[in-house]
Amino acid sequence: MTEKEKLGKYLLKLREKIPSKEYDKEHISQKELADNNTSLTKFLIGTIERGEANPTLDKLIFLAKALNLKTISLFELEINVDKYIKELKKK
């Protein structure tokens, strides 16, 4: 398994913990996640989950927000998801 596939598998597990609000399914689908988050597409979510994409930090932050994560850690650096998104919007 590649490192990108590990990341994708991890993100898929996180998505499967979120209940669907719009469909009669146990967990939120890629489409529902994308529909409720303007910075994400179903295609992008799918390629990340399959380990095919090289998402930018911005896309990873938006995906973290969509997955209800408050912070993520990269290189032993903790990033506040909401603060990061607010700073992006100021640009």
The DSSP result for the chain, as a single string, is --HHHHHHHHHHHHHTTSPPSSSSSSS--HHHHHHT-TT--HHHHHHHHTT-----HHHHHHHHHHTT-SEEEETTEEEEHHHHHHHHHH-
pLDDT score for 1 = 82
Confidence at 16, pLDDT banded by 50, 70, 90: very high
pLDDT score for 56 = 94
Determine which of 17-21, 23-27, 43-47 has the lowest per-residue pLDDT on average.
23-27
What mean pLDDT do residues 30-59 have?
94
In the chain, where the domains are located: 3-90
**CATH number for the domain formed by residue range(s) 3-90:** 1.10.260.40
Share the mean pLDDT of the chain: 91
pLDDT score for 23 = 73
With a pLDDT cut of 90, the percent of the chain lying above it is: 70
